[in-house]
Structure 1
């Protein structure tokens, strides 16, 4: 016990002798801690400044690239545009107004790029010997501006399920959303004589009303051939009266659905080796022709809005036929037919560097109607299976040709649809659309008219993004 008491006394004495040493150690530790805190604050300050600066310069250069693309400014005005944006938006995060310095702006007319190099000088909250009182934070970004033209084909569902019912007015919602989209797209045109953006409208139900392109349609009879007569046949034999201007699928010589975008003047051989023109069929079983006719690519806003105003809901849903006619409206192979009909210059050639070709396919339900199935598909397919299969095959060809496809499912959770019908409708729209990227969405679902308008609005913004990429 005496030994333990002695140990305690010795320890106490040692502690009294070390009081001064602990104070020194504590002071040193506190200094190191303060330096660490100061360093961490400075690093955080630099990070926040860098982040804020990058966001501002990204927005400034992208905005300038957009204005160059749409023709709002000339290349010589790019410097002023970027500087004005930096001045107006310089105060962000921990940055102050007028703190951002534009070191250099480079407009590369060959590569069609705008590059800005900027910096800010950050005064530290905690000046440290190793870091000094201030440090320069640089940032740079590059954006593409484009002289691409833009062609948009909108395939819009005007089937019977779109009719107004009680307080629900789906056809009215579509008319409002599509009209706004047309206005937004054409608003990018600055020179009416040389429009950058043109839009085509394809209303569809059981068929497509071809309007001024009715001369491209071959009218079938129940017991007659499924392809037009040979080009050297007598006029009396070639002529078949048309009850309307509608068309269904184009069929090949054996009666299968044709997924190509060939023009109607393309010459083919029938089963007797005779040449015939690849016109589009009007199947004899077709019953309801949409009252609203398609409008080929145009920058005439009044013509497009009038066509949309003429929408009326009737008939069933032939989505494969819709995709087919959207394809035609973007295919240069149809340019002669469209020009000959006096309906405009027609589509430009497929060239990703010069032309952005966009298709928008919208429906409020399951594709349930077709008059021809694809070659090699099962004979047991019903009309719905044929329609969905035809649509997906045509969409695949469109994407192969460089057409970007956006799809919208409107009110697909309607309780009148079965779970299977709902799943099939969503599946075909997802399969038809271009694959989403981290920054670009292509498949949309819209539950209400407001959602539909928002979907079209986002798509029009995405179309612009496709021509201006960092």
Structure 2
């Protein structure tokens, strides 16, 4: 099993959940983020993984977003996802897309390079969110301490509804956003 950094598949596989048999390119000599934690109900394991996360370097939102979708999928490289329910109720599938800034990297497949022209990256955020929602997965978006109005507009426009978008300007607002999301998850469970 590859335990290093991974890059992006070329378009359109970088914005779709299909062709799971096609390998995702591995990258050498790159600084990697924390390893992805497969889906689990073990809250202790989740909390430990969260404390290991560190925000460093540049931002490439499509990379995190596509991996969030892969986590919910039945396809490789993860096996914890459950079959899709047409009504997205059993299981209810949700992605929470949180960023602390605008895209600063553009794709140079399989790598991502720093560049002022991030229009392709912003377009991929839109396309992935549209594809995720077409698969009946809810999308919550959170702009945490983000000052760039362009990425705020993208996040707001890509959320499942107006109530699925949060503009959290500080830690307290971020905590409130997660409390509101958690309450909406609980409301749906009680209604069943």
Q: TM-score, normalised by structure 1?
A: 0.37
Correspondence for 1:177: none
Task: Please show how residues 84-103 of structure 1 align to structure 2 within 5 Å.
Answer: none
Greater Cα radius of gyration, structure 1 or 2: 1
Report the number of matched residues: 185
Correspondence for 1:280: 24
Report whether the alignment pairs 1:338 with 2:97.
Answer: no
Q: In 2, distance between residues paired with 1:331 and 1:383?
A: 31
RMSD: 2.4
Structure with the higher fraction of residues in strand conformation: 1
More relative contact order in 1 or in 2 (CA 8 Å, sep 6+)?
Answer: 2
Correspondence for 1:347: 81
- 3-state SS of paired residue (2:118): helix
| Aligned match for 2:104, one of 339, 361, 368 | 368
Correspondence for 2:157: 431
How far the C-alpha of 1:294 sits from its partner, in A, is: 0.9
Distance 1:411 1:353, change over 3 A: closer
Unaligned runs of 5+ in 1: 1-212, 215-243, 266-277, 340-345, 374-380, 414-421
- 3-state SS of paired residue (1:393): helix
Report whether the alignment pairs 1:358 with 2:94.
Answer: yes
Task: Please show how residues 214-233 of structure 1 align to structure 2 within 5 Å.
Answer: 214=2
Report whether the alignment pairs 1:321 with 2:56.
Answer: no
**Following superposition, which runs of at least 4 residues in structure 1 exceed 6 angstroms of deviation?**
none
Q: In 1, distance between residues paired with 2:32 and 2:142?
A: 23
Report whether the alignment pairs 1:466 with 2:192.
Answer: no
Correspondence for 1:457: 179
Q: In 2, distance between residues paired with 1:308 and 1:360?
A: 14
Task: Please show how residues 44-443 of structure 1 align to structure 2 within 5 Å.
Answer: 214=2, 245-251=4-10, 258-262=14-18, 264-265=20-21, 278-282=22-26, 287-290=30-33, 292-334=34-76, 337-339=77-79, 346-351=80-85, 352-372=88-108, 383-413=117-147, 422-436=148-162, 441-443=163-165
Distance 1:321 1:299, change over 3 A: same
Deviations 1:149-199 (A, max 9, x none): xxxxxxxxxxxxxxxxxxxxxxxxxxxxxxxxxxxxxxxxxxxxxxxxxxx
How far the C-alpha of 1:468 sits from its partner, in A, is: 4.4
